[in-house]
Amino acid sequence: MGRKYKPKLAVWKFASCDGCQLTLLDCEDELLAVTDEIQIANFPEASRAIVKGPYDVSLVEGSITTSHDAERIHKIRRSSKVLVVIGACATAGGIQALRNFANVEDYKSIVYASPEYIDTLSKSTPIADHVFVDFELRGCPISKSQLIELVTAYLSGRKPNIPPHSVCIECKRRGTVCVMVSTGIPCLGPVTQAGCRALCPSYNRGCYGCFGPKETPNTDSLSVQFKKFNMSRDAIKRAFRGFNAYAEPFRKASEAHEK
Amino acid sequence: MKNRTVKVDYLARVEGEGGLFVRVKNDVVTEAKFRIFEPPRFFEAFLRGRHFTEAPDITARICGICPIAYQMSSVHAMEQACGVVVDGQLRALRRLIYCGEWIESHVLHIYMLHAPDFLGYEDAIQIAKDHPDVVKQALKLKKIGNDIVALLGGREIHPINIKVGGFYRVPSKTELAPLAEKLKWALDTAIETARFTSTLPFPKMERDYEFVSTSHPDEYPFNEGNIISSKQLDITKDDFYNHFEEQHVKHSTSLHSVRKATGEYHVGPLARYNLNYDRLPDVAKQAATAAGLETTCTNPFKSIIVRAVETVFACHEALRIITEYEEPRTPSVDVQPKAGVGHGCTEAPRGMLYHRYRIDDKGIIQDAKIVPPTSQNQKVIESDLADFVSRNIGLPQDKLTWQCEQVVRNYDPCISCSCHFLKLHIERE
């Protein structure tokens, strides 16, 4: 086939656990095939080699929590043709967005002896609050197969096929009996976007919302059902206030159950 | 060249954001810093007010590389607070999932993060161009670790099946059986990996470390045991804060853990190996001997061999657990909240991970303390840097810089873990 142009892929990290970018290294069966097709131009977790931009596709992990990072994301946007955010931190602010419901000054003094050294913003915000984002890949962590689908789609110039429907659909597809109906286990599946293949219900536990709100979620109706299971207001608040706490539908649902 | 600076702004092939800085004046190292600029995420703060059953899922998110370690330290702490002991096959399954995490994390580090340094490649993808079979084999071995975690935990990263008291669902014997076949291959490949690592060129460096790890009377440590050191320490995990503290060092960017009586200490594979050698199975001891290791090892660069030996152990231990497995009658034991304090101290792939929680009678977390391995190793990483540079002051700049990076990577530092607890100060020039 001769020499062909290899698109340049960059991976960027903001406040996060590294798990979503690790998903790329966890694609053990596909990794070498992927690197045949693309040039990994900036991926510090895996390589010392850094190739200058502009980049064809940038994958951005993590949320914005410092003023320095709020600047840095603009530079990355400017050097990226396509910018895709990966994981709950980048799409919704992540678990560290729990600070958004509290006073960050209190948080600093709980964790650090000299809080004045800590450079942090009062809120942890998703990337889309700062720059234009071409696509959001959900999950805490993201799914391997969705990541492969996404990279393949952008390399061939089409939209990724990532369905926005609920986890319930995946349970039905798998043939998993509904944990909420059959055993009364509270489950966020009805309001959560699919992508995990309805993992938790298949292990006899309720969904805890890793993939964030589905399109048009009815959190009020689900809250009524939770009350019937004798969940306290505080427990309902905590259920919505997880890894996607700052995604708007979940945020509103948790705030509705604030004391 | 009497005065020089070695500076790496963004350290590659580690988990998270860090850099290093060494200053030399008149051929004497005056400053050695392992800098961390990962933004803080405040886990210890937002854990307050959460239910004790949520700790394993929440703390897993501290680190995508070693979520099992966080889940294990937190469930053991909560069970101690509530006065519950999880035993029998459930205890064995917890060791099994930890084996999976060690295999996955160690193999990732050996081949993809650490070996490129020894072989002069920028990354494993470059190695794959020259030696595709080595990298393919490494990926296959790593995947078997991930297969264990995914089968028992539901997925590789942030598993969903770990709970206070046990599991949500336990596997049947038949579900585990295919893993045994893969593990037989993995055991052989791990032995081969140990042999391969022993052929790498090792810089000369032996240091008189104080090694610290957990230690169990009968087993190589994962979840249980006292905390011991190579310099007269043998305490229960409840006693951690009486002997260790996190210190604010002048001009330093981060909190450093020290042992109050002695100062800096070293956690991780090298520490476990030196303190628990006699509890390794014969197959791992033989792999160590074949790779040229004695019963003690104090060259930090050789941690790559020790990781391979621990991978042999983890494959062997996983096989043993699967062979002896009988499905327990219930997937978990009932745990009712009780006001009190619980401690968890387990061995993450990169070293000892300590958790302490205080909960009230309704199970609400009042206070949380988490001390990850990388924050404990920070001080020793900095003194390794100073020591290494003063011994190798004649090296050309690019080689010295690369080897300084390697000194840090010896510890497989997980900056994403450590930073949430570290003092942070960004210096901009």
Residue B247 has pLDDT above 90, yes or no: no
pLDDT in the model for residue A108: 80
Report the share of chain B in percent with pLDDT over 90.
78
Residue B252 banded pLDDT, cuts 50, 70, 90: very low
Reported as a single tens digit per residue, the pLDDT across A13-39 is 999 999 999 999 898 888 888 888 899
Q: Give CATH for domain B50-414.
A: 1.10.645.10
Quote the tokens at residue B319: 């096989």
Query: Which class for A176: exposed (0-12), middle (13-18), buried (19 or more C-beta within 10 A)?
Result: buried
pLDDT in the model for residue A106: 85
Q: Which residues of chain A does B331 touch, with a Cβ-Cβ cutoff of 8 Å?
A: 204
Asked if the Cβ–Cβ distance from B126 to A49 is below 8 Å, we say yes
pLDDT in the model for residue B254: 55
* Nearest one of A211, A199, A207, A12 to A92, comparing CA atoms: A211
Using CB atoms, pick whichever of A32, A114, A199 lies closest to residue B160.
Answer: A199
Residue type, B301: F
Report the share of chain A in percent with pLDDT over 70.
98
Asked if the Cβ–Cβ distance from A44 to B13 is below 8 Å, we say yes
Residue A114 at interface with chain B, using a CB cutoff of 8 Å: yes
Cα–Cα distance measured from residue B180 to residue B99, given in angstroms and rounded to the nearest whole number: 13
Residue B259 has pLDDT above 60, yes or no: yes
Residue B4 banded pLDDT, cuts 50, 70, 90: confident
Backbone φ and ψ of B221, nearest 5°: -75, 140
Residue B427 has pLDDT above 70, yes or no: no
pLDDT in the model for residue A3: 57
Cα–Cα distance measured from residue A40 to residue B114, given in angstroms and rounded to the nearest whole number: 18
Using CB atoms, pick whichever of B42, B123, B416 lies closest to residue A49.
Answer: B123
pTM: 0.95
| Sequence spans of domains, chain B | 50-414
Residue B250 has pLDDT above 80, yes or no: no
* Nearest one of A9, A153, A142, A126 to A69, comparing CA atoms: A126
Reported as a single tens digit per residue, the pLDDT across B62-87 is 999 999 999 999 999 999 999 999 99
How many CB pairs lie under 8 A apart between chains A and B? 182
Which chain B residues in 12-51 lie under 8 Å from chain A, judged by CB atoms? 12-17, 38-46, 48, 50-51
pLDDT in tens, chain A (259 residues): 445 788 999 999 999 999 999 999 898 888 888 888 899 999 988 888 889 989 999 999 999 999 999 999 999 999 999 999 999 999 999 999 999 999 888 888 787 777 776 778 999 999 999 999 999 999 999 999 999 999 989 888 899 999 999 999 999 999 999 999 999 999 999 999 999 999 999 999 999 999 999 999 999 999 999 999 999 999 999 999 999 999 999 999 999 999 7
- Per CATH, domain A8-155 is 3.40.50.700: yes
Q: Which DSSP string corresponds to A36-63?
A: HHSEEEE-TTTBS----S-EEEEEEESB
Query: Which class for B134: exposed (0-12), middle (13-18), buried (19 or more C-beta within 10 A)?
Result: middle
Residue A98 at interface with chain B, using a CB cutoff of 8 Å: yes
pLDDT in the model for residue B248: 61
pLDDT in the model for residue B362: 97
Task: Quote the radius of gyration of chain A (alpha carbons, Å).
Answer: 20
Residue B341 banded pLDDT, cuts 50, 70, 90: very high
Q: Which of B10, B37, B41 to mutate to test the interface with A (most CBs of A within 10 A)?
A: B41
Residue A111 at interface with chain B, using a CB cutoff of 8 Å: yes
Report the share of chain A in percent with pLDDT over 90.
77
Which chain A residues in 18-47 lie under 8 Å from chain B, judged by CB atoms? 18-23, 25-26, 28-29, 31-32, 35, 40, 44-47
Residue B262 has pLDDT above 50, yes or no: yes
pLDDT in the model for residue A55: 96
Using CB atoms, pick whichever of B139, B168, B426 lies closest to residue A204.
Answer: B168
